[in-house]
């Protein structure tokens, strides 16, 4: 690797990040903190780097202090761990300053974590992104030695989506003309998800198919050296079709085998690990199951509604439950469970004493009875402080005769109420 190329990339990076227009995301940066941002492709990790650079400049730093390098740059294809020092050497040959370092998609360089640790030990300020949750594996976390803040980056929340569409919610907006506009935008967000780049694209489904193909081939097949590509594709499809139902590894192996593709339970376990590492989906455990059995029969949700939607035709009920799962997982992480033992409750957060059912509509009497009774029964087993039924459009309070209130709230309103400000 030639030092001259690194110099050119550093200068180009400074020119690029100094001019890019930004929609700021609600993220709080600790002063002098080092960060590793991880998330699915196109979730907005790079923009958080740009946002931090512009923030530092507003605080009095100069653009000459910033070193932004994107390791997806084709000029860095031959870059190895032995070349990392060239970055510091190339910078020092141009500027008599201490650089602030921004490394985008650094997972492309094997062994990057050792260099990152050395930089932190030398008191450099460092920001890193990657599209692979494996970056935060136990081994890498041990190497980094607690010197970095780990931050998950997700596609836009509904609040951010509205902001990207230049919508500022007025006081009591839901009673005026703005409600129709927000309703239309929510339907788009509900069906096509919140990838930032997708906001102004008209051919949304084509874009989603393209990004899924990149995730599938680059982050799953190539990265993990998977030979049985057809089995992996069918597994993703089966998980999408059954997104609301718990499923075991054995059941998944059987489903794929019935399509004429032989696959073992052990391979299914490996494939699901790769799907989680690609940040395509996340699992929820059954809180009612014995601890040793929780990993054997789980629910799997997609990290974005748009990616789920490309696999489904009659999608509304699945998309509704998936979007609620995303919001709860973003806010509570591994504290979110489902409950299935004589009672079926979609989501439970035991630490918060909160439970959620998801139902597209409660207008049907049988649906109303099923959803409310499940929450009432759960409350007798684990007393809850808050219980909700998330619907597409309906809203009311159900005052049960046992003195228990269940809040019925439309999903768009709940999402706006649940906006996460970090």
Beta strands in 196-343 (DSSP E): 247-248, 281-286, 297-302, 337-340
Percentage of the chain lying above the pLDDT 90 cut? 75
pLDDT exceeding 70 applies to what percent of the chain?
Answer: 97
Per-residue pLDDT, 136: 66
Q: What residues does CATH 3.40.50.300 cover in the chain?
A: 3-152
- SS percent in the chain: helix, strand, coil, step 5: 50, 15, 35
- Cite the residue boundaries of each domain of the chain with CATH code 1.10.10.10: 203-313
**Maximum pairwise Cα distance, the chain:** 76
Q: Decide if pLDDT at 149 tops 60.
A: yes
Fold classified for 3-152: Rossmann fold (3.40.50)
The whole-number pLDDT of residue 179 equals: 86
pLDDT at 336 over 80: yes
Q: Supply the pTM of this predicted model.
A: 0.92
Which pLDDT tens digit goes with each residue over 204-238?
999 999 999 999 999 899 989 999 999 999 999 99
- Does residue 252 sit in helix, strand or coil? helix
What is the mean predicted confidence (pLDDT) over 409-420? 84
Q: How confident is the model at residue 421 (pLDDT cuts 50, 70, 90)?
A: very low
Residue 259 near residue 238 (C-beta atoms within 8 A)? no
When mean pLDDT is compared across 114-128, 290-304, 327-341, 349-363, the lowest value belongs to 290-304
CATH of domain 203-313: 1.10.10.10
Question: DSSP character for 123?
Answer: T
The distance of Cα 233 from the centroid of its chain, to the nearest Å, equals 20
The predicted model gives 128-150 an average pLDDT of 77
């Amino acid at each position: 690797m030639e030092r001259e190329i690194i110099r050119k990339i550093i200068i180009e990076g400074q020119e690029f990040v100094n001019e890019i227009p930004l929609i700021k995301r609600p993220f709080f940066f600790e002063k002098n903190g080092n960060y590793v941002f991880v998330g699915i492709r196109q979730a907005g990790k790079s923009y958080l780097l740009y946002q931090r650079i512009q923030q530092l400049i507003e605080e009095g730093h100069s653009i000459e202090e910033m070193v932004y390098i994107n390791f997806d740059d084709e000029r860095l294809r031959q870059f190895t761990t032995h070349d990392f020092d060239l970055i510091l050497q190339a910078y020092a040959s141009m500027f008599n300053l201490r650089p602030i370092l921004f490394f985008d998609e650094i997972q492309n360089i094997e062994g990057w974590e050792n260099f990152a640790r050395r930089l932190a030990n030398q008191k450099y300020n460092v920001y890193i992104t990657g599209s692979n949750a494996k970056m935060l594996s136990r081994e890498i976390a041990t190497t980094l030695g607690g010197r970095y803040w780990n931050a998950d980056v997700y596609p836009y929340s509904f609040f951010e989506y509205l902001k990207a569409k230049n919508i500022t919610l007025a006081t009591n907006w839901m009673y005026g003309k703005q409600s129709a506009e927000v309703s239309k935008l929510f339907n788009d967000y509900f069906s096509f998800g919140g990838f930032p780049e997708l906001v102004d694209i008209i051919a949304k489904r084509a874009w989603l198919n393209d990004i899924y193909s990149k995730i599938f081939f680059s982050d799953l097949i190539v990265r993990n050296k998977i030979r049985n590509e057809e089995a992996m594709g069918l597994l993703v499809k089966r998980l999408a079709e059954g997104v609301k139902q718990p499923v075991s590894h054995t059941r998944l192996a059987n489903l794929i085998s019935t399509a004429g593709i032989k696959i073992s339970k052990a391979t299914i376990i490996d494939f699901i690990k790769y799907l989680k590492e690609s940040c395509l989906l996340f699992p929820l455990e059954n809180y009612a199951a014995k601890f040793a059995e929780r990993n054997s029969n789980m629910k799997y949700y997609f990290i974005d509604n748009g990616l789920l939607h490309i696999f489904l035709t009659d999608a509304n009920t699945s998309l509704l439950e998936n979007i609620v799962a995303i919001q709860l997982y973003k806010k509570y992480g591994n504290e979110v469970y489902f409950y299935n033992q004589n009672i079926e409750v979609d989501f439970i957060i035991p630490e918060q004493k909160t439970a959620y059912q998801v139902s597209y509509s409660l207008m049907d009497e049988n649906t109303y009875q099923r959803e409310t009774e499940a929450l009432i029964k759960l409350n007798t087993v684990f007393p809850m402080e808050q219980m909700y039924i998330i619907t597409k459009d309906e809203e009311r309070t159900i005052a049960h005769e046992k003195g228990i209130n269940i809040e019925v709230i439309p999903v768009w309103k709940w999402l706006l109420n649940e906006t996460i400000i970090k």
